[in-house]
């Protein structure tokens, strides 16, 4: 089985003179094909974990992705990853050109970008908005466009940081459907942060629970939501799942 992330005792420090310990001693292994939710109270390190998986923030200590072979599997080199955020970063041009530019930046000649960009727009149902300014689209459409732009590059790993947090209920459902569809493509791996525990139950097979930068639980989703197990995890974990802390 392919190991896509293999961390041993990872620390991440942020801020001036790297004084904030955003992650502390995180050990985890994620295999290809898994659907993993990252949850925890505000400031617990969810975004930092995703950013570090995408190498957007440096690791201060620990071991990341040393190739492991044999029973544990093989860490794949040079895989394609996409990271999406709560608010998509879209360029000031048409929806179609946002995707074309993504493909062009990835090395495709400009003339070869039109067809795959159209296919990506169709994949998320945005063909009718191809020529609209991306920034004039609704929040849900903008997020769909961000998914299309990422999908055009055929990522094997999706890292999503609260992708539905700022959307209305209808758009939330649409994006959740896209997450489910893309995660079910052969070999795709999904790691997403969410405050929406219903969404976690619908989409994830496994839950990583963070508190104060530490990974306190790494469990199959049905075990994580067992109150007896939550109570053993930490007093705050139970309160968090009951909605008593943010």
- The residues that touch ligand ATP, with contacts defined as CB under 6 A, are 14-15, 20, 22, 40, 42-48
Cβ atoms within 10 Å of 144's Cβ, excluding its own = 24
Instruction: Please state the closest distance from residue 132 (CB atom) to ligand ATP, in A.
Output: 30
For ligand ATP, the closer CB: 123 or 214: 214
Instruction: Please state the closest distance from residue 246 (CB atom) to ligand ATP, in A.
Output: 8
Instruction: Please state the closest distance from residue 56 (CB atom) to ligand ATP, in A.
Output: 11
Strand 20-31 versus strand 2-14 pairing type: antiparallel
Q: Which residue is nearest to ligand ATP (CB)?
A: 15
For ligand ATP, the closer CB: 39 or 117: 39
Instruction: Please state the closest distance from residue 93 (CB atom) to ligand ATP, in A.
Output: 29
For ligand ATP, the closer CB: 47 or 113: 47
Q: Are 192 and 202 in contact (CB under 8 A)?
A: no
| Degrees, nearest 5: CA angle 149-151-155 | 120
For the record, the structure tokens of 177 come out as: 């459907």
Phi, psi of 62 (to 5 degrees): 105, 180
Instruction: Please state the closest distance from residue 160 (CB atom) to ligand ATP, in A.
Output: 12
Q: How far is CA 117 from the centre of its chain?
A: 22
Tell me the DSSP string of 135-150: GGS-HHHHHHHHHHHH
| Degrees, nearest 5: CA angle 85-140-245 | 55
> CB-based contacts of 8: which residues, under 8 Å, 6+ apart?
27, 62, 63, 66
For ligand ATP, the closer CB: 129 or 224: 224
For ligand ATP, the closer CB: 50 or 124: 50
Residue whose tokens read 């970063």: 89
Instruction: Please state the closest distance from residue 89 (CB atom) to ligand ATP, in A.
Output: 17
For ligand ATP, the closer CB: 16 or 70: 16
């Amino acid at each position: 089985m392919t190991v896509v992330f293999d961390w041993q005792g990872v620390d991440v420090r942020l801020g001036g003179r790297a004084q904030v310990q955003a992650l502390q001693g995180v050990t985890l292994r994620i295999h290809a094909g898994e659907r993993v939710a990252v949850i925890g109270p505000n400031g617990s390190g969810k975004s930092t974990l995703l950013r570090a998986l995408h190498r957007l923030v440096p690791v201060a200590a620990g071991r990341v992705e040393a190739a492991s072979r044999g029973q544990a599997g093989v860490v794949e080199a040079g895989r394609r990853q996409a990271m999406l955020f709560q608010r998509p970063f879209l360029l000031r041009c048409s929806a179609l050109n946002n995707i074309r530019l993504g493909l062009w930046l990835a090395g495709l000649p400009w003339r070869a970008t039109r067809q795959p960009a159209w296919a990506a727009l169709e994949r998320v149902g945005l063909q009718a908005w191809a020529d609209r300014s991306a920034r004039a689209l609704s929040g849900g459409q903008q997020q769909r466009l961000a998914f299309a732009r990422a999908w055009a590059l055929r990522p094997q790993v999706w890292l999503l940081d609260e992708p539905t947090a700022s959307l209305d209920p209808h758009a939330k459902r649409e994006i959740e459907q896209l997450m489910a569809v893309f995660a079910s493509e052969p070999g795709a791996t999904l790691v997403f942060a969410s405050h929406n525990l219903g969404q976690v139950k619908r989409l994830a097979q496994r839950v990583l629970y963070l508190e104060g930068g530490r990974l306190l639980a790494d469990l199959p989703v049905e075990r994580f939501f067992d109150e007896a197990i939550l109570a053993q995890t930490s007093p705050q974990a139970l309160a968090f799942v009951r909605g008593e802390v943010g």
